[in-house]
Structure 1
Amino acid sequence: MKSLIVSGLVSVLVALGLAGCAGNRLSDTDRLALYQAHAGAPVKQIRYMEPIGWDRIDDQHLVLQMRPQESWLLRLMAPCLNTGSGSPFLGVSSFNGMTLTRFDKVVVPGGHISCMIDEIRPLDVKALRAAETMLREKPHASGT
């Protein structure tokens, strides 16, 4: 079994890049709807390599970024991504170390349980970024 921990600095940078301005931050519910609208059909497995970042959407969903233009929306079997410990790290446990499938696990260090992956969906990163930009600019456009 292979476990990887994504560095805290990369995680923070990715989270900031995906979240944009803090003043216009979307709610978890709105962010999940946005990600789901730009996600493809579920896949059985993906080629697994060291992720360059991750972003928590809510206690049951996260985005795993493998390359700058390759991200995946993961839904976990149960809400268990409680990052109340403030840990900027995420562990991913792949059964064979070469692919990531349903039933592989995600764990936040310091947490007492691991979260089994229920679904993996590819994200259209370019369309997602364009939609996020449009949503953030919308309040500014109406105020002028």
Structure 2
Amino acid sequence: MKRSVLSLSLSALLMLTACANSPRSTEQILSDRGFQRGETVDRIKDYQISGWNYVDERHVIFNAGPSRNYLITLKIDCRDLSGAEYIGFSSTTSDVTKFDKVVVGTPIGPRSCPIDTLTKLEKID
């Protein structure tokens, strides 16, 4: 009897530990930073990189000017994004589109990560 109670207690503790260590969703991270997803856009016109914030290996928050924040979702995991020295875009115009790439500066040289979607972010009141 004691053994089954101990086994159940240990199982419950392991389940709680697994839940506590599970990665947070992109939506939770955005909410913690005061944002929610808005509409998906085809391009960011006349962008200027005012700042950026790492979310995870597939998402980055990009500030394109005053009150112009976007979530960039990448097609693949971009492993060097978390420790990037800088980011840029492969765009040859003044716009960023979903056909461009995020260029990540790393100590061993730039890495390109293709963009999947561009989403406007809205401030949460």
Quote the sequence identity (%): 30
In 2: Cα distance, 1:63 partner to 1:81 partner: 16
Partner residue of 1:102 out of 98, 103, 115: 98
Q: Per-residue displacement from partner, 1:61-85 (whole Å, max 9, x unpaired)?
A: 001001231100000010114246x
Contact kept? 1:81, 1:115, Cα under 8 Å: no
Q: Which is higher, the Rg of structure 1 or of structure 2?
A: 2
User: How many aligned positions are there?
Assistant: 98
More strand by share: 2
Contact kept? 2:48, 2:64, Cα under 8 Å: yes
More helix by share: 1
Partner residue of 2:65 out of 49, 58, 67: 67
Show structure 2 runs of 5+ residues with no match: 1-21
1:41 corresponds to which residue?
39
Show structure 1 runs of 5+ residues with no match: 1-26, 131-144
TM-score (norm 1): 0.58
TM-score (norm 2): 0.66
CA RMSD of aligned residues (A): 2.4
2:66 is aligned with what amino acid? P
In 2: Cα distance, 1:29 partner to 1:122 partner: 21
In 2: Cα distance, 1:44 partner to 1:118 partner: 10
1:87 corresponds to which residue?
84
**Over 4 Å off, 4+ runs:** none
In 2: Cα distance, 1:28 partner to 1:89 partner: 25
